[in-house]
A and B are shown apart, each in its own frame.
Chain A
């Protein structure tokens, strides 16, 4: 089933809304206990990339015509069967189309921006510091030659421990880029479909757990006018989201724009990883629920087959005297 993207007319209005100051209280939907209502089911899927194509420089927006053309290309089903390159992953991977996981098969929010990142002004992530490169090199070195020895040498994604697109800042992923926001007095729960539910207390008080690290970090929220501001720290050093370190701090800001849209704005700060803080913004578009249970670990045949395949290859090599 092919779904439509939000029309460009709506997208232009959306960009205007994203540029405009926060809506007034008179227009904002409120919960029964008097907070701005940002709850619902949403998709993060975008036609806009995280980083701006370099050739665009500081051009922040496409014209409506350019954006329409990009959206049409993004939403067009492929003309033929997917290319199968023998001996590569794509040769053996299941066909995403069969399961409705391909990009053109899902709801997507489109807007006129050229990138999700808006700061630095070139729309691209700041340079990685040497300290971060060294940490990444050390991790790679520790596994060299042992990448398939056991499950702990595989990635957190392959092990179904963490999908990085579901960590704060939540970004569009390859598929299942959906989320649920559930609001109740004193708490907002944000659950990206392939991730854990994040419990965010909204009283602005820091947690008692001190230095305890968590894969999803530790989040504290507070209301600022119409926006929920969430600060997350205490990331587990194994997470290393985009080569970050355990002292990364992510600030998210969620603001309802209209009945169908919540603006998701974020800032990433990690002086041990990037030369500067960087920020982005994109719209969350309302979708019909439910979000289905994502049982990655319960159905993880992938990692068993990867390890079994490597053991079979080693046996084959041993038998051939290699």
Chain B
């Protein structure tokens, strides 16, 4: 009798402790066994995430190709990619496709990534570097390792961009278990990949983030820009949680690495 009551007491206390202990785990700290949720029930998309594809080279399907600087050899050759564009090709208007081709031809000097310029949206998502999402019961904040780019995602926000910026202005809302982010105010100077694909500053981008498992997220971005595309088009890819228990977000300040490209022609010539 006493034994039964004691067991019940332990069970009851354990249940209460379990309820009280349902504080979100600190993100970026390893493999999750169930989809985490915030105290208000929303999926918890916080953590360190990274794309695992070759969209950063070219979002359209492409075969392997020579490196843009031949002397770099196979190490820096362009790997193949099956593409992340729904339907395969970006529906450029003819003048815009010509601009894309010109970007490609001049990518060595002109890719803003090589200049350590912020990669913009959505390119920052699928750069081959991690990014970290911070989520509280109000807003969402994202830091991308490349050039330490920041996005404040204003949850429930309706404000249009007060000014064009490299990372745009983001308003977020939950549609069921999908986090939908509307981006305006992009500056049209960022590219979409290393192949010269681009948007203009008239682009409106809608991202959709959906946890499809504790350590996998589906990412979609639809880009609408009637000045350069004949219709809106969508990219889609999985994102993978960085599951290392001791993962540390390290600094990638790339400014110094871009200075030769930007200012090399202004160096003092060597003395004869």
- Residues B46 and A184 in contact, CB atoms below 8 Å apart: yes
Known: A32-B136, A208-B248. A297 touches B141 (CB 8 A): no
**One of A183, A186, A304 near B266 (C-beta < 8 A):** A304
**0/1 interface trace, chain B 218-257, chain A, CB 8 Å (1 if under):** 0000000000000000000000000000101111010110
Residues of B near A187 (CB, < 8 A) are 26-27, 134
**One of A34, A146, A159, A307 near B23 (C-beta < 8 A):** A34
Residues of A near B258 (CB, < 8 A) are 297
- Residues B26 and A304 in contact, CB atoms below 8 Å apart: no
Closest to A295 in B: B166
**One of A199, A214, A292 near B143 (C-beta < 8 A):** A199
- Residues B117 and A311 in contact, CB atoms below 8 Å apart: no
- Residues A209 and B250 in contact, CB atoms below 8 Å apart: yes
State the CA gap A201–B139 with chains docked (Å): 18
State the CA gap A150–B39 with chains docked (Å): 53
- Residues A184 and B117 in contact, CB atoms below 8 Å apart: no
**One of B46, B118, B150 near A185 (C-beta < 8 A):** B46
- Residues B256 and A183 in contact, CB atoms below 8 Å apart: no
- Residues A292 and B165 in contact, CB atoms below 8 Å apart: yes
- Residues A186 and B26 in contact, CB atoms below 8 Å apart: yes
Q: Indicate if B132 sits at the interface (CB-CB under 8 A).
A: yes
Known: A151-B259, A311-B268. A214 touches B27 (CB 8 A): no
- Residues B150 and A293 in contact, CB atoms below 8 Å apart: yes
State the CA gap A57–B143 with chains docked (Å): 45
Interface size for chain A: under 10, 10 to 19, 20 to 34, or 35 or more residues?
35 or more
**One of B118, B134, B256 near A184 (C-beta < 8 A):** B134
State the CA gap A183–B25 with chains docked (Å): 14
**One of B163, B249, B251, B262 near A215 (C-beta < 8 A):** B251
Which residues of chain B in 13-28 are interfacial with respect to chain A, using CB atoms and an 8 Å cutoff?
23-28
- Residues B118 and A295 in contact, CB atoms below 8 Å apart: yes
- Residues B267 and A150 in contact, CB atoms below 8 Å apart: yes
Known: A189-B143, A215-B251, A311-B268. A303 touches B26 (CB 8 A): no
- Residues B167 and A214 in contact, CB atoms below 8 Å apart: no
State the CA gap A293–B259 with chains docked (Å): 21
Known: A148-B268, A151-B263. A184 touches B253 (CB 8 A): no
Residues of B near A196 (CB, < 8 A) are 148, 251, 253
State the CA gap A31–B141 with chains docked (Å): 16
**0/1 interface trace, chain B 113-154, chain A, CB 8 Å (1 if under):** 000111000000000000010111101010100011010100
- Residues B253 and A201 in contact, CB atoms below 8 Å apart: no
- Residues B165 and A295 in contact, CB atoms below 8 Å apart: yes
- Residues A186 and B255 in contact, CB atoms below 8 Å apart: no
- Residues A184 and B248 in contact, CB atoms below 8 Å apart: no
- Residues B268 and A314 in contact, CB atoms below 8 Å apart: yes
- A104 to chain B minimum Cβ distance, whole angstroms, is 23
- Taking A162-B253, A184-B141 as known contacts, 8 extra A-B pairs with beta carbons closer than 8 A to each other, sorted by chain A number, are A32-B38, A149-B268, A161-B256, A290-B152, A298-B118, A303-B263, A304-B266, A311-B266
Per CB-CB distance, the 4 closest pairs between chain A and chain B, nearest first, are A186-B26, A208-B246, A307-B266, A184-B134
Residues of A within 8 A of B (CB): 31-34, 39, 146, 148-152, 159-162, 180, 182-187, 189, 191, 196-197, 199, 201-203, 207-209, 212, 214-216, 218, 290, 292-293, 295, 297-298, 303-304, 307-308, 310-311, 314
Residues of B within 8 A of A (CB): 23-29, 38-40, 46, 116-118, 132, 134-137, 139, 141, 143, 147-148, 150, 152, 162-163, 165-167, 246, 248-251, 253, 255-256, 258-259, 262-263, 266-268
16 intermolecular pairs with C-beta atoms under 8 Å apart: A32-B137, A33-B23, A33-B24, A150-B263, A151-B259, A152-B259, A185-B136, A197-B150, A203-B26, A208-B246, A215-B253, A218-B248, A293-B167, A297-B147, A298-B118, A314-B268
